[in-house]
Amino acid sequence: MQHALLVVNPKSRNGHSEVLTEAIDLLRNSGIEVEVCVTESASHMASCIENYREQDGVVIVAGGDGTISSALESIYKSNQTLAILPMGTANDFARSLGLPQDVVPAAQAIIDDERERINLAKVNGNYFVNVAHVGLGVEVTRELTSEMKKYFGVFAYLGAFTSVIKRNKSFKVAIKADDWEDSVIAIHLAVGNGRFYGGGNIVDEDSTLLDGQLNLFCLKPIRWWRLLLLGVNFRHGNLEKAERVVCKKARKISVKTSRPKRIQADGEFKTETPAEFEVIPKAIEVIVGDMPVPNKNKE
């Protein structure tokens, strides 16, 4: 690698300016020419990426999961190699790639230049890497504020979850996952592509960005205190045997609700139901660290 385009979200940059400068110096001192683009909008970021034409170059996105998600379509369609400097609150994509949570060590991973081709997911034509939510997950994201994330970090997700579970409403959903289908009453539905979401929760104990599958879990109505007891299952991704939870793996998933419901993916509003999900195996090349491996002890 001789050249890199560094795309910076100025909002994520707040509070990170010194470590970002240190990371850029580290990259440059290793012999990588770094071109910096401070983006003004999502469309500006897309333009920067699509106009990048260095033959031996890499696109580095400095920001959180939402910023990375906004860059995915341009990176995929331009056939660019993606690297990241994690500057968000949760940094779940960095976790799924096995990258350090701190900016300077993540820059060293870019220098080390270990690469993999990973899955991308789409919902109604919109790309995402982590998880898409309907129901409870959307309400948790709405509850989060920038002040909560700034002062409490990943613990803000737990606080938001506790605030919304008592008032969350159920909905009827028809699900088709490859050749399986069912209709249930639910309070939450999620479709995962990566391994981590919500500040380190695991989608499924077998999930990785390399498996070519989507992981669906759908939570039926349950008393709020019993939902809290499921926290350990959510954290470790072993929901398959949990009560009131439907889990499926598939390459294509269709979701229809009785009324249109908002869908958020990677922490950003993307579309609404009805929705068609699909996975694109080995879609983009990324620079990785020590990527997590599936649970080898699962029966």
For the stretch 21-50, pLDDT in tens is 999 999 999 999 999 999 888 899 999 999
Domain with CATH 2.60.200.40 in the chain: 126-281
Phi and psi torsions of 119, nearest 5°: -70, 150
Cα distances from 151 to residues 15, 84, 197, in angstroms, run: 12, 23, 19
Cα distances from 263 to residues 42, 60, 238, 274, in angstroms, run: 19, 27, 23, 10
pLDDT at 14: 52
* Number of Cβ atoms within 10 Å of the Cβ of 46: 19
pLDDT greater at residue 202 or residue 100: 100
Query: What is the rounded CA–CA span in Å between residue 27 and residue 127?
Result: 29
pLDDT (tens digit per residue) in 70-109: 999 999 999 999 999 999 888 999 999 999 999 999 999 9
pLDDT of residue 160 exceeding 80: no
pLDDT greater at residue 107 or residue 201: 107
SS (H, E, C) 32-93: CEEEEEECCCHHHHHHHHHCCCCCCEEEEEEECHHHHHHHHHHHHHHCCEEEEEECCCCCHH
pLDDT at 40: 82
Average pLDDT score over residue span 135-162: 55
* Sequence-ordered list of residues with C-beta below 8 angstroms from that of 244, at least 6 positions apart, any chain: 219, 220, 221, 222, 226
* Sequence-ordered list of residues with C-beta below 8 angstroms from that of 192, at least 6 positions apart, any chain: 130, 131, 132, 203, 204, 207, 214, 215, 216, 217
The pLDDT confidence band at residue 68, using thresholds 50, 70 and 90, is very high
pLDDT of residue 166 exceeding 60: no
Give the helix ranges, DSSP H, for the chain: 10-13, 17-29, 42-50, 65-78, 92-96, 103-112, 136-143, 146-152, 155-164, 224-229, 231-236
Domain with CATH 3.40.50.10330 in the chain: 3-113
Going by DSSP bridges, is the β-strand pair 3-8/57-63 parallel, antiparallel, or unpaired?
parallel
pLDDT at 219: 87
Conformation bin of residue 235: beta by default, left when phi > 0, alpha when psi is -120 to 50: alpha
Supply the CATH classification number for the domain 126-281. 2.60.200.40
In 3-state terms, what secondary structure has residue 17? helix
pLDDT at 164: 54
pLDDT of residue 112 exceeding 80: yes
For the segment(s) 3-113, the CATH number from 3.30.420.40, 3.40.50.10330, 3.40.50.1000, 3.40.50.150 is: 3.40.50.10330
Is 88 exposed, middle or buried (CB count within 10 Å of its CB: 0-12, 13-18, 19+)?
buried
Average pLDDT score over residue span 174-198: 92
pLDDT at 297: 47
pLDDT at 197: 84
pLDDT greater at residue 142 or residue 192: 192
Average pLDDT score over residue span 234-261: 84
* Sequence-ordered list of residues with C-beta below 8 angstroms from that of 151, at least 6 positions apart, any chain: none
The pLDDT confidence band at residue 128, using thresholds 50, 70 and 90, is very high
pLDDT of residue 189 exceeding 60: yes
pLDDT at 17: 80
